[in-house]
Amino acid sequence: MANIEIRKATGTWVVRAGGAVLAESKNALVLSEPGHGDVVYFPRNDIAMAFLDATDLVTHCPKKGDASYFSIVTKSQTLENVGWSYESPIEAAARIKEHIAFTPGDYLAVERV
């Protein structure tokens, strides 16, 4: 089983949803996992947590641990389970503790600015 790689993301990264910037960070991390696209994880301190609501969804990844999910509430809609965090990641993924990643899509952008 191939390992994951976690490195500092270069530049400034943002998350936008509902016309608002929900996160902006110069300290984001990029997680690379064979067979998956790179995922940018944002430090919680750089996220407007007031826009995120924890949900009951939990999934398990053998390489990272159990993921907890968040929905984002915008003025016009709720984006269900678009953010996730490993609250107690396994040792190989310890650097992403206290970070949240987001699923980009039609109503949510994760991009380098």
Identify whether the C-beta of residue 18 lies closer than 8 Å to the C-beta of residue 111: no
Output the pLDDT for position 2. 63
Q: What's the pLDDT tens digit per position in 27-83?
A: 999 999 998 999 999 999 999 999 999 999 999 999 999 999 999 988 889 999 999
pTM attached to this predicted model: 0.95
Q: Residue 39 sits in which domain range?
A: 5-112
How do residues 14-23 score in pLDDT, each as one tens digit? 999 988 999 9
d(CA 97, CA 80): 22
Domain with residue 103: its CATH number is 2.170.150.40
The whole-number pLDDT of residue 99 equals: 98
Task: Reply yes or no on whether the pLDDT at 1 is more than 60.
Answer: no
CA–CA separation, 10 vs 63, rounded Å? 24
What is the model's pLDDT at position 88?
Answer: 96
Domain count, the chain: 1
The per-residue pLDDT for 75 is 85
**DSSP bridge partners of 21:** 16
- Residue 89: φ, ψ to 5°: -65, 155
